Amino acid sequence: MEKIEGSYQEWDNIWDKNIEGGQKRQIFCQFTRHTPKTIYEFWQRCYFEDLLELIKGKNYTKFLELGAGKGTTSMYLSDEGIEDITMVDLSDSGFKLATENCKREGVTPPKMLIANCEKTGLADEAYDCIYNIGLLEHFENPKPTLQETFRLLKPGGMVFMPIVPAQPFLHSIRARLKYNPVSIPKYYIKTLLGINKKRNENNTMIRTQNDEHFYLKICKEIGFDKLKCIPYNPYWSVTSETSPMYQKSLNAYIAHHEKTKQKENYPLLQTKKGTELCLLLYGVK
C-alpha cells in the first residue's frame, strides 16, 4: 500500500472514528487538569510542562502548532491564559475534536487553519514559538516543514518538537524487561508470527526511524544552528489498558516524574540514549 507523506489521511481516519464511534476519551482527549488517568494524558501533560518551562520569562505572545490534530498542547497553552495561538492541520476532523474538547473542558479554542505545514501561507517571522507533538516522524523528508518553521519563526523564537520514531525491536524489549517482563513472551510470539508487523502494514501511515543526526543535519542546512536533538521520554507504554498493571505502572511513572521536578533540570523528560521513546528537537532560532 502506498505510504502517504505526513500521513494526514490516515490521521483523518483516526480522528473521524471518534466522531462516528462516540467518545473514546483515552485517545481523543488527552487534556486534563487532574491526575492523568491514561499514559496519553500523562505524556501530553509532561510535554506541555517542559514547553512551559522552556519559554518561561521569554514574553512570547504568538504561538503556532503545526500538524496540530486535536491540539492537546495548544489546549494546555490556552488554558494557561495564552491568547494568540494558531493550530494548522490538513485534516479538519482533528479540528472538530479540538472544538468539542475545548467546549467540554471550558478552554478558549485556538484559531484553526486548514493548511499544509510545508507551505502555510502565513507571514514571515510572525511567531514566537512553533511546536508540534508527533509530526516530523511522519515525513520521509521533514525538510520542507522545518524550512517553513524557520521562515515563520521570529529570531529568538523557540522550536519545540517531540518526535516519536519507530522503535528498534531491541529497545522495546529492553523497556519491557525493565518495566513489565511478564509481557515479553506474548510480545515475542506476536512479533515472530508477524502479527505486529502485519498490523503496521495495514495502514498507510509513515513512521520513520531517523536519529538525532538526521534532524540536526537538516536544521543546520536550513540555518537553525542552535537547535538540540536529545533522547526524550523514558516512560514506555508496556502494558495494555486492560491489564491490572496499567494503573500501577502509570502511578509509578507519575511519582518518578514528580521526583525529577526537584532537580529542576528541564526538559524533565530528557533521558539516557537507548532508554528513549522519543527525540526532542528544541531550541532558539
Among 38, 78, 86, 91, binds ligand SAM (CB under 6 A): 91
Give buried/exposed letters for 205-242 (b at 16+ CB in 10 A, else e).
bbebebebebbbebbeebebeebbbbbbbbbbbbbeee
Q: Strand, helix or coil at 197? A: helix
Shortest separation between residue 284's beta carbon and ligand SAM, angstroms? 22
Shortest separation between residue 40's beta carbon and ligand SAM, angstroms? 9
264 burial level (CB within 10 Å; 0-12, 13-18, 19+): exposed
Shortest separation between residue 149's beta carbon and ligand SAM, angstroms? 12
Residue that the C-alpha cell 491490572 belongs to? 244
Among 36, 38, 67, 276, binds ligand SAM (CB under 6 A): 67
Q: Are strands 127-131 and 62-66 parallel, antiparallel or unpaired?
A: parallel
Shortest separation between residue 283's beta carbon and ligand SAM, angstroms? 20
Query: Residue 9 or 247: which CB sits closer to ligand SAM?
Result: 9
Give dist(CA 36, CA 146) in Å, integer: 31
231 is a contact residue toward ligand SAM (CB under 6 A): no
Residue that the C-alpha cell 481516519 belongs to? 13
- Interacting positions 120-159 with ligand SAM (CB under 6 A): 133-135, 138
Among 17, 79, 84, 90, binds ligand SAM (CB under 6 A): 90
Interface residue list for ligand SAM (CB under 6 A): 6-8, 11, 67-72, 88-91, 94, 116-118, 133-135, 138
